[in-house]
Amino acid sequence: MIWHPFSLAIVMVDALALLFVVKAAATSVRVAADWSPGSSTKQQITLETAAETGAMSARAAFGLLIGSTLVLVVAVTNVFPGIVPGAMCGTVVLQATGGNGTQAFMFKLLCLGIFYLWYILDRLDRTSPDAPLARMNAKMLLLAAPFAILAVFATFNTLNTLNSLDAHTPVDCCAVVYDQFTGTRGVAHARGPSDHQLVWSFGILTFLLICLGSVGVFWRKKRSGLISGTAAIFSLAWGTISALFLVRVLSAYTYEVLHHHCPWCLFLPEHHYVGFALFGLLGLAVIQAPTAYVCHWAGLAHPGLAEKSDRLARRSLAAMIFFILVFTVAAAGPAISWRMRYGVWMS
């Protein structure tokens, strides 16, 4: 089995990320167990310095994990279709990995989500000299570490499977996308909610989130926990609905073909790599409301940080509104352009 150079590159970035994760986790164990704020013992001072370098390791790991996730997306969408028989995009590549690829992405995204929350809390923690969130941040890093290990393991299995493939076996790529339909009736009605339901759900959830975000940003801070908590729940639902809406309804205007419900084709050069921007915006929009809630929660647990955490929570809600609007404009742009050119919707 000879590995593709891009596989070697992914393994290298993952290995480096894992190295920094392990270093950060090792420090986090000590911080979670022995941290005593306010103490001036040599042990505490040593631990504070170790926590500082542990946080730097975690930031390096976070950066490397973002890099390795991006590189994996590039590999699945633009590199491996060349070596997986019959593959034209990431759909067949993921199918060929026998579930490992999907697992790798799930673990990586989960890990990135936790690391992002940790990163925000770490920034909040740095605003106070006695680092009141140090123990909580250490626990969060310890929570992220197993997912990071699982993500690296699943990625390795994915690459191992792909590099052991027989390049001569024919597979029909688009058949995988169309397999979900049975007969011509099924083509018009894919499994799950209908296109109309998706449009309405997306519209309602987007409106609700913008309202909630605006209230959280401009209104009194007494209800900010309720607002950010509700927004966090809605944003998770919005993320799912938006992904479905993008793939099932809006992507048709990018592909200029009906019923090609493939998310991975959006990452191809013939579609100007729009998938990177659209799914990136989607991810950034989804994580903002949970960030606001975590900040609010940190402010409640440590009153000394209340003002700063409130400011950060408001900023996160504002960022959520911004990313939702940019995503909506970017995703719906081709559809509106189509409507203006031809006077009809594709349905």
Q: Which stretch binds other proteins (CB under 8 A): 86-94, 104-112, 115-123, 277-285?
A: 86-94
Give yes or no for residue 315 binding other proteins (CB under 8 A). no
Q: How many residues in total does the chain contain?
A: 347
CB-based contacts of 249-255 (< 8 A; 24+ apart in sequence): 249/195, 249/198, 249/199, 249/335, 250/331, 250/332, 250/334, 250/335, 252/346, 253/334, 253/335, 253/337, 253/338, 253/346, 254/334
Radius of gyration of the chain from its Cα atoms, rounded to whole angstroms: 23
Smallest gap, in angstroms, from Cβ of residue 75 to other proteins?
Answer: 9
Distance of CA 125 to the CA centre of its chain: 24
Q: Which of 36, 39, 53, 240 binds other proteins (CB under 8 A)?
A: 53
Q: Which of 29, 30, 78, 325 binds other proteins (CB under 8 A)?
A: 78
**CB-facing half-sphere around the CA of 7: CA atoms within 13 A:** 17
For other proteins, the closer of residues 276 and 322 by Cβ is: 276
What string marks each residue from 259 to 298 as x (binds other proteins by CB under 8 A) or -?
A: ----------x-----------------------------
* Cα-based distances in Å from 312 to 293, 294, 299: 10, 10, 10
Alpha helices (H) in 246-273, listed in sequence order: 251-255
For other proteins, the closer of residues 18 and 227 by Cβ is: 18
Smallest gap, in angstroms, from Cβ of residue 6 to other proteins?
Answer: 6
For other proteins, the closer of residues 19 and 332 by Cβ is: 19
Give yes or no for residue 86 binding other proteins (CB under 8 A). yes
Binders of other proteins among residues 11 to 50 (CB under 8 A) are 12-13, 16, 19-20, 23, 46, 49-50
Whether residue 81 contacts residue 93, with contact meaning beta carbons closer than 8 Å, is answered with yes
Smallest gap, in angstroms, from Cβ of residue 161 to other proteins?
Answer: 14
Q: How far apart are the first and last CA of the chain?
A: 46
Task: Give the interface with other proteins as residue ranges (CB under 8 A).
Answer: 2-10, 12-13, 16, 19-20, 23, 46, 49-50, 52-53, 56-57, 60, 64, 67, 71, 74, 78-79, 82-88, 167-168, 170, 172-175, 269
